[in-house]
Amino acid sequence: MQGAWTPDQVRDAERSVFTSTPEPVVMRRAAFAVAVHGARLLAETAGAVAGRHVVLLVGAGGNGGDALWAGVEFRRRGAGVTALLLSPDKAHPAGSAALRRAGGVLVDAAGPGADTAGVGAAAAGALERADLVVDGIVGLSARGSLRPLAAELVSRVAAPVVAVDLPSGVDPITGAVDGPAVDADLTVTFGGRKPGHVLGTGSVRSGAVVVAGIGVAEHLPEPDLFVLDAADVGAGWPVPRPQDDKYSQGVVGVAAGSATYPGAAVLATGSAVQATSGMVRYAGSAADLVRSHWPEVVATGSITDAGRVQAWAVGPGIGTGASGREVLRHALESGRPVCADADSITLLAEDPTLWDARDPDAAVVLTPHAGEFQRLAGEVGADRVAAAREVARRFDVVLLLKGNTTVVAAPDGRVLVNPSVHAWPATAGSGDVLTGLIGALLAAGIDPWLACGYAAHAHALAAELAAFGPEAGDDPVGAPIGASALLRSVPAAIRALRAS
């Protein structure tokens, strides 16, 4: 499990470092790492470093300072270096002087000979001839969308890019992109990942993220934002032990589907069947259809005679009327962990007295998409982590917020994010598959916060395998999948996770 730290946490750690190591030394370490990894990228893409042309985009702060010092390192390796200064009077003085001494060319990005977009002739020409661009416009202290000159330069970049710390234009805290932003092949960050690397579009804009040690990591606090590796998920996924039987591995109850939405029952039970190897019970009006698709499911018509379970997954397709309400109430009263999805969330939003049925000792997981979240607690807003964290605290639940990046907040404030690289899971019924996975993991006794993280990870991988697998051909963009195809890929996803 990897941590991610907010800019404030990083700045605090940097201040501690500076008590023993002078700031310029720390900056030189950061710049050296940028140059080492940037040179590797340049050698891969342009065949060599010496004789190639590196362009630095240099902002007014420490991020620009890193870029300038990285430019010095590129000069040492024989590359030509042109630094485009966005604010020439504020460019890092020591870095600027060092680059000049090393034979780099420093130009005012805005002139002379500015074109209609405000870009100087020398800057425009340098960008056209670039073999590699080092993005040092802005890092930890970025605020809002890029200013016009920065935005214009970024939109003209055609060469491979190494971003210093964060791709400029990506919000460091939310990962949101509002306007032009750097699309990095590689981001070299320092001490630890930032939320901007793992959330929203930021995870895609960062490219490959390299965390360089510059002495900061040792001073960072315990993180409260995490990303699971495939290996974490594989290692944590329940596997039957020799002494296990079908009951000891945990029985999950699925209450989903109705005469109007029978598919939700088939998808949610199917995914529970494939997630773990214990036993799946089903309760609801789609029992016959469930049996015909999944004969191993023990299905009954009513939740009141479903039998014993270790966790409930409740909600997809149960409707928001009186019968759905009673199903949810029964699950909440059971004293077992409950994954409440879809109609369950709407029911809780419409009638908060349903919370009274909850056994306070049993975990509740809510899995809203943005619309369901809004019913429950208002607009998600740009800061999805803060929104999920606040609602998890308020309702004392694990809250899984669906979307391209899945955010899982625990009531104690810990947050897991599952960055997604593609959007194929955005298909009707795919949420039902997720509900089944979470329910099965809860029944197996996995910590609810981790269960959500594991399930989101496996779900995204299953969608990827379905969209890019043999059935879909070799198309690099993938092919559309339905939730049934996603469901069929769940066992392969679990196998791949366990192998990693």
Ligand X SMILES: NC(=O)C1=CN([C@@H]2O[C@H](COP(=O)(O)OP(=O)(O)OC[C@H]3O[C@@H](n4cnc5c(N)ncnc54)[C@H](O)[C@@H]3O)[C@@H](O)[C@H]2O)[C@@H](O)CC1
Ligand Y SMILES: Nc1ncnc2c1ncn2[C@@H]1O[C@H](COP(=O)(O)OP(=O)(O)O)[C@@H](O)[C@H]1O
At 466, the amino acid letter reads A
User: Among residue numbers 150 through 179, which ones bind ligand X (CB under 6 A)?
Assistant: 150, 164-165
Residue (55 or 452) nearer to ligand Y, CB: 452
Q: Is 264 within any annotated ligand binding site?
A: yes
Closest residue by Cα to residue 68 from 39, 37, 28:
28
Least gap, CB of 409 to ligand Y (angstroms): 14
User: Token pair 């598959």 is at which residue?
Assistant: 433
Tally the C-alpha atoms within 13 A of residue 450's C-alpha that lie toward its C-beta.
16
Closest residue by Cα to residue 419 from 140, 174, 222:
174
- Regarding 73 and contact with ligand X (CB under 6 A), the answer is no
Radius of gyration, alpha carbons of the chain:
26
Cα–Cα distance for residue pair 284/299, rounded to 1 Å: 8
Neighbours of 101 (CB within 10 A): 10
Least gap, CB of 183 to K ion (angstroms): 12
Per residue in 298-326, is it b (16+ CB within 10 Å) or e — as a string?
Answer: bbeeebeebeebbbbbbbbbbbbeeebbe
Residue (156 or 498) nearer to ligand X, CB: 156
Least gap, CB of 420 to K ion (angstroms): 23
Out of ligand Y, ligand X, K ion, none, what residue 428 binds, judged by CB under 5 to 8 A for its kind, is ligand Y
Q: Is 179 within any annotated ligand binding site?
A: no
Residue (180 or 368) nearer to ligand X, CB: 180
- Regarding 91 and contact with ligand X (CB under 6 A), the answer is no
User: Among residue numbers 101 through 140, which ones bind ligand X (CB under 6 A)?
Assistant: 138-140
Cα–Cα distance for residue pair 314/247, rounded to 1 Å: 20
Per residue in 8-32, is it b (16+ CB within 10 Å) or e — as a string?
Answer: ebbeebbeebeeeeeeeebbbbbbb
Out of ligand X, K ion, ligand Y, none, what residue 135 binds, judged by CB under 5 to 8 A for its kind, is K ion
- What track of x and - describes contact with ligand X for positions 40 through 59 (by CB under 6 A)? -------------------x
Out of K ion, ligand Y, ligand X, none, what residue 223 binds, judged by CB under 5 to 8 A for its kind, is none
Could you list the residues that contact K ion (CB under 5 A)? 63, 135, 139, 163-164, 168
Could you list the residues that contact ligand X (CB under 6 A)? 14, 23, 26-27, 30, 59-64, 66, 138-147, 150, 164-165, 190
- The binding site comprises 62-66, 135, 139-145, 165, 168, 264, 317, 369, 402-406, 431-432
